[in-house]
């Protein structure tokens, strides 16, 4: 199916379409970051990128496709705030701090991740895969730190990996409801400090 | 407004109305526990309690009112699984274990808590208050354990209280998506064991 696109090369129509798709997702990320879940609309995204709603629907036939693309973009943007040399805990805290500047996108994440638990929801596969990848990836990083002698060999890395992702999500939910009372970074730091201090 | 209800006493129409309301919420709790968020409908609740949908709407004009009443009922039911003599950690783990038998209600909680972060959502006040109460109540319990010498005085009880609630919510979300891979009780036990082992 994608053969004609691929053979068109970087400057062909396939590349142009990918560029346009990317600029739509950038616009949607900005719209949701600024306005939050309720006020972020297809029309606002279309206006920002200078397209009609019909044109936008050509690239993203369902609103859920665009919302998931925004969350994937968030993951990419989130990775760019961390230097490759940053340590494990430092990376987590830098990403958590960066999320504080995009509450509307975090709100989108909270709404979709909750809805994704229902049967047949279009975001279910995305979140199931995302959490699997997070649990596996974090467990591998923690295992490497055990081998370096930085983390106690008695820590169950699978439990710590699931727990860190869970703690982060739950803290962000509380923070969205009470931003002046819940300090996501302070709580994550407390967890990570205690994890690395375990005997 | 409620004067006539109150003066009607326990056996009067006010008490009858409260009983009927309670039986509706019980029916809704059972329907959502069995069928989950998507399949749980006003019609299914009305059928179970032997009322018409119109009759049900008299008690719960908006679906969100009934859904929130189900979550409040869950909190009450959850408290009954714990003996008054149970310790702090034991209480948490017993409640978490009990939640495993009502995935449909936990799904309802996940959906509504995510949606509640959006501006003007009817569940926003419930969740904002719930988390405030949880943070304050848990912090007070932990402070008492510090005074008894069971918990290190160096633990920041406010951070631990917010973190425990957050961890629990995040774990349940991952468990709903991958029930065979995520063990909520094991992860909570790991957190609590480490918390009480802190120097």
d(CA B156, CA A189): 12
Question: Per residue in A19-78, pLDDT tens?
Answer: 999 999 999 998 888 888 777 788 899 999 999 989 999 999 888 889 899 888 988 888
User: Dihedral, CA atoms, B7, B10, B11, B12, nearest 10 degrees?
Assistant: 30
SS3 track for chain A = CCHHHHHCCCCCHHHHHHHHHHHHHHHHHHHHHHHHHHHCCHHHHHHHHCCCHHHHHHHCCCHHHHHHHHHHHHHHHHHHCCCCCCCHHHHHHHHHHHHCCCHHHHHHHHHHHHHCCCCCCCCHHHHHHHHHHHHHHHHHHHHHHHHCCCCCCCCCHHHHHHHHHHHHHHHHHHHHHCCCCCCHHHHHHHHHHHHHHCC
Which residue among B117, B163, B176 places its CB closest to the CB of A191? B163
pLDDT for A36: 81
Q: Is B122 helix (H, G, I), strand (E, B) or coil?
A: coil
**Residue B196 touches chain A, beta carbons under 8 Å:** no
Determine the angle formed by the axes of helices B157-177 and A157-177, rounding to 10 degrees: 110
End-to-end CA distance of chain B: give it in Å, rounded.
55
In B147-186, the residues whose Cβ lies within 8 Å of chain A are 156, 159-160, 162-163, 165-171, 173-174, 176-178, 181-183, 186
Chain Cα centroid distance, residue A178: 21
pLDDT mean across residues, chain A: 89
pLDDT for A77: 82
Helix (H) or strand (E) holding B119: none
Query: Taking CA atoms, what residue in A is nearest to B128?
Result: A177
pLDDT for A1: 41
Helix (H) or strand (E) holding B21: helix B13-39
pLDDT bin (cut points 50, 70, 90) of residue A188 is very high
Kindly state the percentage of chain B with pLDDT values over 70: 93
Q: Is B148 helix (H, G, I), strand (E, B) or coil?
A: coil
Query: Taking CA atoms, what residue in B is nearest to A114?
Result: B111
d(CA B143, CA B5): 41
**A40, A177, A188, A196: which to substitute to probe chain B, counting the most B Cβ within 10 Å?**
A177
Question: Per residue in B96-125, pLDDT tens?
Answer: 999 999 999 999 999 999 999 998 888 999
Q: Is B183 helix (H, G, I), strand (E, B) or coil?
A: coil
Check A113 against B173: CB less than 8 A apart: yes
- Nearest CA of chain B to the CA of A38: how many Å? 7
Average pLDDT over residues A189-196: 98
**Residue A76 touches chain B, beta carbons under 8 Å:** no
pLDDT by 10s per residue, chain B, length 199: 444 444 444 556 688 888 999 999 999 988 888 888 777 788 899 999 999 989 999 999 888 889 899 888 888 888 888 887 789 999 999 999 999 999 999 999 999 999 999 988 889 999 999 999 999 999 999 999 999 999 999 999 999 999 999 999 999 999 999 999 999 999 999 999 999 999 9
- Is the pLDDT at A4 greater than 50? The verdict is no
d(CA B107, CA A118): 7
pLDDT for B17: 86
Please report the DSSP string for B28-95 in residue order. Answer: HHHHHHHHHHHH--HHHHHHHHT--HHHHHHH-SSHHHHHHHHHHHHHHHHHHTS-TT--HHHHHHHH
pLDDT for A78: 81
pLDDT for A116: 94
Q: Is B113 helix (H, G, I), strand (E, B) or coil?
A: helix
Check A194 against B190: CB less than 8 A apart: no
- Is the pLDDT at A8 greater than 80? The verdict is no
Check A38 against B119: CB less than 8 A apart: yes
Chain A residues within an 8 Å CB radius of B108: none
pLDDT for A42: 84
Instruction: Write the DSSP symbol of residue B178.
Output: -
**Residue A118 touches chain B, beta carbons under 8 Å:** yes
Kindly state the percentage of chain B with pLDDT values over 90: 65
pLDDT for B2: 42
Residue A28: which of A43, A41, A45 has the closest Cα?
A45
């Amino acid at each position: 199916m994608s053969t004609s696109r691929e053979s068109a090369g970087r400057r062909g129509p396939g590349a142009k379409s990918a560029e346009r798709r990317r600029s739509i997702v950038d616009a949607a990320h900005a719209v949701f970051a600024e306005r939050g879940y309720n006020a972020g609309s297809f029309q606002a995204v279309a206006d920002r990128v200078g397209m009609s709603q019909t044109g936008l629907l050509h690239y993203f036939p369902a609103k859920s496709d665009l919302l998931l693309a925004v969350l994937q973009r968030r993951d990419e943007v989130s990775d760019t705030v961390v230097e490759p040399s940053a340590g494990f805990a430092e990376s987590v805290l830098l990403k958590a701090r960066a999320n504080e500047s995009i509450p509307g996108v975090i709100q989108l994440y909270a709404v979709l991740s909750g809805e994704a638990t229902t049967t047949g929801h279009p975001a279910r596969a995305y979140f199931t895969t995302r959490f699997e990848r997070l649990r596996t990836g974090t467990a591998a990083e923690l295992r490497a730190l055990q081998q370096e002698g930085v983390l106690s060999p008695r820590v169950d890395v699978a439990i710590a990996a699931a727990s860190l992702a869970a703690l982060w999500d739950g803290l962000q939910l509380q923070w969205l409801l009470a931003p002046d009372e819940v300090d996501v970074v302070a709580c994550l730091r407390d967890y990570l400090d205690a994890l690395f201090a375990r005997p």
